[in-house]
Amino acid sequence: MQATPIAFRPQTTPHPESASWSVDEIETLLGLPFMELVFRAAEIHRQFFDPCKVQLSTLISIKTGGCSEDCGYCPQSAHHDTPVPNQPMLTVDEVVAAARVAKANGAGRFCMGAAWRGPKDADLQQTLRMVSEVKALGLETCATFGMLRDGQAEQLKGAGLDYYNHNLDTAPDKYADIVQTRDYEDRLDTLGKVRAAGLSVCCGGIVGMNETRRDRAGLIAQLANLDPQPESVPINQLVKVVGTPLADAGVMDWTEFVRTIAVARIAMPRSYVRLSAGRREMDEATQALCFLAGANSIFYGDKLLTTGNPDVVADQALLQKLDLSAL
Ligand code: SF4
């Protein structure tokens, strides 16, 4: 059957600050013939980045489990009965020691995550010391502490934080199926506070949560229409954990994941698109296709908050095989 010609974005890549993407446009991109889509994404990748460089971020959980939120994918929610044990906040020394190891292994950014709805002021004070001491090691710093109240983003910025992670998770229309304890506006409100404080934004989502392709388009459109676009865009593939509501989510074909990466690259040409959770479940060839389709960042380290990640040695071997080097 003859493929129908598809109206596509102009040859000139839209400038990220002025880009405006409809869900229909993104859905059309997701439905391009696979090889065409990957090729176009690879072309755009080369316009904005060295395709042989990958940014390496290491993520550590500084406080695990017992979270009051009910995110359907998360084993750290107190609403779900999962095998993940609670762990109180790490000490500053423990976090700094982990950051030294990450740096020695080649990571350029160190991300600290805490299972909170949002940080209490006393907890925030302790994280400020973590941020400033990690920053002093010469690493970029990132934090993901949940929703921020007025003034908290400024305190983090003052301590030396570079990035704040706050994911939109999924499309606005799908959000209530995944999380009931907060709404999409809450996410956007924190992202606004992060931007107003002068922090860079790390914001992405999760695929493989029984969403449709249109839902994935809705997520990417929402991310791409943030103004300015996020500097980092982690794309996670659901890791199904026993005891979570999404433990039995259907299987999403690997090509859909690659398509999502490719479209994120096209719609957000200046952003670092990160392969995040779920990479351990991907074979090397799929990861290589993701790099070809524009992914240029990975989480790097043995553990990703509470779920597994390919170990450092395996990642170094993969990067070497693909002639990719760390930024
Ligand atoms: S994803 Fe974050 S906010 Fe949601 S339950 Fe897990 S730790 Fe809490």
Per-residue model confidence as pLDDT tens digits over 208-223: 999 999 999 999 999 9
Residue 227 half-sphere exposure, CB side, CA atoms within 13 Å?
7
Judging by DSSP bridges, how do beta strands 303-304 and 307-308 pair with one another?
A: antiparallel
Task: Indicate the angle between helix axes 121-136 and 152-159, nearest 10 degrees.
Answer: 20
Query: Ligand 1: residues whose CB is within 6 Å?
Result: 67, 69, 71, 74, 76-77, 115, 146
Atom of ligand 1 nearest to the CA of 79: 5
Distance 146 CA to ligand 1 centre (A): 8
Look at 316 and 8; give whichever has higher pLDDT.
316
Indicate which residue's Cα is closest to atom 2 of ligand 1.
Answer: 115
Average pLDDT over every residue of 285-296: 97
Expressed in angstroms and rounded, the spacing between residue 264 Cα and the centre of ligand 1 is 24
Q: Which of the residues are catalytic?
A: 67, 71, 74, 111, 142, 202, 274
Contact 146, 116 (CB under 8 A): yes
pLDDT the model gives residue 306: 59
Asked whether the predicted pLDDT for residue 10 surpasses 50, the reply is: no
d(CA 200, CA 306): 25
> SS3 for 175?
helix
**The pairing of beta strand 163-165 with beta strand 140-144:** parallel
**96, two tokens:** 């700094």
pLDDT band at 139 (very low <50, low <70, confident <90, very high): very high
Start-end of H helices in the chain = 23-30, 34-48, 92-104, 121-136, 152-159, 175-178, 184-196, 213-224, 254-267, 284-292, 312-321
> For a pocket test of ligand 1, which of 77, 82, 117 has the largest count of ligand atoms closer than 8 A to its C-beta?
77
Cα(175) to centroid(ligand 1), Å: 14
Chain segment 145-177, per-residue pLDDT in tens: 999 999 999 999 999 999 999 999 999 999 999
Probe target for ligand 1 pocket from 71, 182, 246, with the most ligand atoms within 8 Å of CB: 71
What the block records as the tokens of 94 is 């423990």
Instruction: Give per-residue pLDDT as tens, 52-99.
Output: 999 999 999 999 999 999 999 999 999 999 999 999 999 999 999 999
The pLDDT score that the predictor gives to residue 8 is 41
**What is the CA(161)–ligand 1 centre distance, in A?**
21
Instruction: For residue 200, give the nearest of 230, 225, 174 by alpha carbon.
Output: 230
List beta partners, residue 113.
61, 144
pLDDT at residue 14, rounded to an integer: 46
Q: Whole-angstrom Cα distance, residue 27 to residue 315?
A: 32
